[in-house]
Amino acid sequence: MPTAEQTRARLAEIPNLTLSVDTPLSAYTRFGIGGPADLYVETASVPAFIAALEETRASGLPTVVIGGGTNLIVSDAGFRGIVLRYRGESLKAAGECVTAEAGAVLQDLVDFAIENGLKGLETLAGIPGSVGAAVYGNAGAYGHSISERVVEVRFFDGSEVRTLDNAACRFEYRESIFKKQKDWIIFSADLRLEKSDAAVLHRTAADILKVRNEKFPVTMKCAGSIFKNLLMNDLPGTAAAAVPASAVREGKVPAAWFLEQVGAKGMQHGDIHVATYHANLIYNAGTGTAADLCALIAELKTRVRDRFGLDLQEEVQYVG
Ligand SMILES: Cc1cc2nc3c(=O)[nH]c(=O)nc-3n(C[C@H](O)[C@H](O)[C@H](O)COP(=O)(O)OP(=O)(O)OC[C@H]3O[C@@H](n4cnc5c(N)ncnc54)[C@H](O)[C@@H]3O)c2cc1C
């Protein structure tokens, strides 16, 4: 097995790949938190990405793939291994079908669809991050998720590049098969949209963006909602009995409702705060650490478990 130094040298020889050592991951997360990665590689080339994965696999070193870092909590110690990011970001339209590379910014895809008079993604306006991660976590807002529009996903399964159709992606609320197969890397997705009036779509997206920017100021160091909302039908009896009908929306209970009952709003651990206006929004006020963030998350989970017998599940993903 090659040493870490030999792996670094081999990665450095791969064309079209950028490599850095001891890279602070705080610069790659919206929380602005996270220690260094031993190695960080990024490329917009599929062959280079696959070559890098093969080298990392041969090395036996741990690997993780990131997108825009808007849904990540990286430990203060960082990541002892190799962090990879696929940066291919092309967007192509053919009739009502759009092909988006995984490294494209989701908002760019939303804008591209609107400019082409294609309806179906405008309610995703303002969700930060990349297309690849949006497919991975079935991102959504305002009652719609990206899965409604996905026809096919192209990904690397560790041996070859394959495609899965929508059903095979096993999309659910903030879930997909890619969350279970952590070593599968998404390269692109085909989406089917509908012809519509670009001006109307633009207004819908602009209205959504205005509301979202008030809730999540663009400079806020956060991950959006920390915890997933809950399906009413999956709630344990004690929790279901406590929820008023007015709190249930489209069969789901916001995690924020439970958090609010246990006094989450305005809670603080070090420089990590729960927003005073939204119990499921945690942000770094400046000098917060991953340790503070995890301690606050653990405290919130304990309070909800003790009061409602319910285990909240994080929507955020952990690295390191
Ligand atoms: C202010 C704010 C508001 C938000 N609002 C919403 C919302 O309304 N709805 C919503 O759904 N989410 C929301 N989010 C969460 C976040 O935007 C989404 O989860 C987004 O899809 C993450 O994208 P990313 O590129 O930053 O991914 P990262 O945070 O970098 O990674 C997230 C996960 O995706 C995996 N991943 C990334 N790229 C690939 C790839 N190519 N192949 C396989 N796996 C990959 C990573 O391994 C990781 O596990 C919000 C976040 C913020 C900061």
Average pLDDT over residues 305-317: 95
Cβ of 79 below 6 Å from ligand 1: no
Cβ of 127 below 6 Å from ligand 1: yes
Please tell me the predicted confidence (pLDDT) of residue 8.
94
> Residue 201 above 90 pLDDT?
yes
> Residue 27 above 90 pLDDT?
yes
pLDDT tier at 2, thresholds 50, 70, 90: confident
SS3 of 125, please? coil
Residues 16, 180, 111, CA angle at the centre, nearest 5°?
Answer: 55
pLDDT tier at 4, thresholds 50, 70, 90: confident
Average pLDDT over residues 162-169: 98
Cβ of 72 below 6 Å from ligand 1: yes
How many whole angstroms from 194 Cα to the centroid of ligand 1? 25
Cβ of 74 below 6 Å from ligand 1: no
Please tell me the predicted confidence (pLDDT) of residue 1.
85
Atom of ligand 1 nearest to the CA of 145: 11
174 is catalytic: yes
- Our mutation pick for probing the ligand 1 site, out of 53, 71, 74, 293, counting the most ligand atoms within 8 A of Cβ, is 71
Choosing from 174, 176, 188, 196, the catalytic residue is 174
Choosing from 30, 188, 225, 303, the catalytic residue is 225
Q: What is the C-alpha radius of gyration for the chain, rounded to an integer number of angstroms?
A: 20
- % pLDDT > 70, the chain: 100
Please tell me the predicted confidence (pLDDT) of residue 259.
98
Q: 0.85 exceeded by the pTM? A: yes
Please tell me the predicted confidence (pLDDT) of residue 250.
85
How many whole angstroms from 71 Cα to the centroid of ligand 1? 5
Cβ of 31 below 6 Å from ligand 1: no
> Residue 319 above 90 pLDDT?
yes
Q: How many CA atoms lie within 13 A of 36 on its CB side?
A: 6
The dihedral sign for the CA sequence 228, 234, 240, 245: positive
Average pLDDT over residues 67-90: 98
Q: List pLDDT tens digits, range 244-301.
A: 999 998 889 999 999 999 999 999 999 999 999 999 999 999 999 999 999 999 999 9
Q: List pLDDT tens digits, range 173-184.
A: 999 999 999 899
DSSP alpha helix (H) spans, 60-197: 106-115, 131-136, 177-180
DSSP alpha helix (H) spans, 187-266: 198-215, 237-242, 255-261
CA distances from 311 to 123, 138, 226, 230, 296 (A): 29, 21, 13, 10, 15
How many whole angstroms from 129 Cα to the centroid of ligand 1? 5
Average pLDDT over residues 137-152: 96
- % pLDDT > 90, the chain: 95
The dihedral sign for the CA sequence 188, 126, 133, 178: negative
Bridge partners (DSSP) of residue 188 are 101, 154
Average pLDDT, the chain: 96
Give all strands (DSSP E) within 181-313, no chain letters.
185-192, 194-195, 221-225, 230-231, 252-253, 268-269, 272-274, 281-284
Average pLDDT over residues 77-101: 97
Q: How far is 302 from 305, CA to CA, in rounded Å?
A: 5
